[in-house]
Amino acid sequence: MPTEFKSFDASTLDWDKVDGLMPAIVQDAATQRVLMLGYMDRDALTRTCDSGRVTFFSRSKQRLWTKGESSGHHLDVVAIRADCDGDTLLMSARAHGPTCHTGSVSCFADAPGNFLGALDALVKQREHDRPINSYTTRLFEEGPRRIAQKVGEEGVETALAGVVQLDEDLLGESADLLFHLIVLLRSRGLSLEDAVAVLEQRHAKAAEKAAH
């Protein structure tokens, strides 16, 4: 897990403005879905950075509280960011189980998220669990070579649909291609997030080149 958050400088925050209790929004690192809102004092933020697990100051219990300490549904930190005024935190995290006490993924029932990120996480779980009678399990058991073949087949079908078929056919083939590509990446120990990071790096380099 990345540990860049460990170097987060809490002294840059405006603690006086929030009376020592900083609002902290937690967002799923894969899907970008908002999971919950909590509050951190300096000690909670320090423990979060030291342990790698999101820890709040519980206003009802008047003590530090690590998310999941009872349920086991921890939130592992990926990144910590402050807003422009230094009085609110955005915590990017990977959730282990539902975040809400009701059993829901998010405390905000209708919070939007990135479905491709959620699908990537599901494929990763399928690779680990290998459920019986699952098409994804069968693909993983056939190995990267067969999965790569499926990606090639779906790529050709997508290209053909783009030329001679209806829009709905193109969309359907594109969905098939994206799914099999995610499975192929996972079969090689990679993720869709890794591929997106490459696109982001290329975009940044192109933007830098254009600026000069």
Q: Identify the pLDDT of residue 1.
A: 45
Distance CA 118, CA 198 (A): 19
Q: Domains in the chain, ordered, with CATH?
A: 4-95 (3.10.20.810), 115-211 (1.10.287.1080)
Q: Identify the pLDDT of residue 3.
A: 56
Distance CA 84, CA 82 (A): 7
On whether the CB atoms of residues 73 and 103 are closer than 8 A, the answer is no
Strand, helix or coil for residue 27: strand
Q: Identify the pLDDT of residue 9.
A: 85
pLDDT tens per residue, range 91-113: 999 999 999 989 999 999 888 88
Which residue ranges of the chain lie beneath pLDDT 70?
1-4
